[in-house]
């Protein structure tokens, strides 16, 4: 591997690891690659085998080519209100998936939703280990696992397991919320 490729690999590995909040030890545990080897790769002082590159790529759920390819970096990524990668509107709410991304071996999905007054939406389990993180932008909403719903107002944040049936109901007026779904593994996402 050329020194230019080694430097790019080192930068990409470090960026992926830091973005996911992993130490070298944690990455070693997840990938099965020795910590010393990962340390050398991040310093640009190693010529890893294809098996090593595949193990690292699999850990981050990326292609091997993305580990050794340099790419331009976006300074900021903006999703304007009312836009998103997928419309998830129904009779009870109007919403969009703002972003989907893989984080380590898991993934997150960010929604912006507006719930209609007194309409009830019941969501099935999103899979084992899934959680929802809710931040109310405006209005009031009852949200949470069935039988454990809580009343949330503007600026309130709540998180709860989403691996069981849960319910949403806007109280008195439309409620606007941000919802972050976290999944322990990308394959856990239930659509």
Domain chopping of the chain, boundaries = 3-68, 85-183
Q: Which among 179, 182, 126 is positioned nearest to 152, based on CA atoms? A: 179
Report how far apart the first and last C-alpha atoms of the chain are (Å, whole number): 41
Q: How confident is the model at residue 8 (pLDDT cuts 50, 70, 90)?
A: confident
What CATH class does 3-68 carry?
A: mainly alpha
For residues 122 and 165, the answer to whether their CB atoms sit within 8 Å is yes
Mean pLDDT of 178-188: 73
CATH homologous superfamily, domain 85-183: Jelly Rolls (2.60.120.10)
Phi, then psi, of 36 in degrees rounded to 5: -60, -40
Q: How confident is the model at residue 122 (pLDDT cuts 50, 70, 90)?
A: very high
Q: Which residue has the higher pLDDT, 24 or 80?
A: 24
Residue-level pLDDT at 191: 41
Q: Give the position of tokens 């509107």.
A: 89
Sign of CA dihedral 149, 154, 159, 164: positive
Angle between helices 35-42 and 24-31 (to 10 degrees): 120
Is 90 exceeded by the pLDDT of residue 125? no
Q: How many whole angstroms separate alpha carbon 130 and alpha carbon 128? A: 6
Q: Which residue has the higher pLDDT, 184 or 42?
A: 42
Q: Which pTM was predicted?
A: 0.52
Question: How does pLDDT run across 57-66, given as a tens digit for each residue?
Answer: 999 888 888 8
Residue-level pLDDT at 189: 39
Question: How does pLDDT run across 74-108, given as a tens digit for each residue?
Answer: 454 556 666 666 778 888 888 877 666 666 667 88
């Amino acid at each position: 591997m050329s020194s230019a490729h080694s430097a790019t690999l080192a930068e990409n590995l470090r960026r992926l690891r830091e973005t996911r909040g992993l130490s070298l030890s944690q990455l070693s545990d997840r990938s099965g690659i020795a910590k010393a080897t990962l340390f050398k790769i991040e310093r640009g002082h190693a010529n890893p085998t294809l098996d090593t590159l595949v193990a690292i790529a699999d850990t981050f759920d990326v292609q091997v080519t993305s580990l050794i390819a340099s790419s331009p970096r976006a300074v900021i990524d903006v999703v304007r209100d009312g836009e998103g990668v997928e419309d998830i509107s129904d009779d009870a709410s109007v919403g969009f998936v703002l972003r989907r991304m893989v984080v380590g071996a898991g993934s997150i999905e960010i929604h912006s939703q507006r719930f209609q007054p007194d309409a009830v939406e019941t969501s099935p389990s999103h899979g084992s280990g899934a959680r929802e993180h809710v931040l109310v932008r405006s209005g009031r909403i009852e949200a949470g696992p069935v039988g454990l719903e809580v009343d949330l107002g503007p600026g309130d944040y709540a998180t709860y397991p989403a691996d069981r049936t849960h319910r949403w109901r806007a109280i008195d007026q439309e409620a606007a919320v941000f919802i972050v779904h976290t999944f322990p593994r990308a394959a856990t996402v239930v659509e």
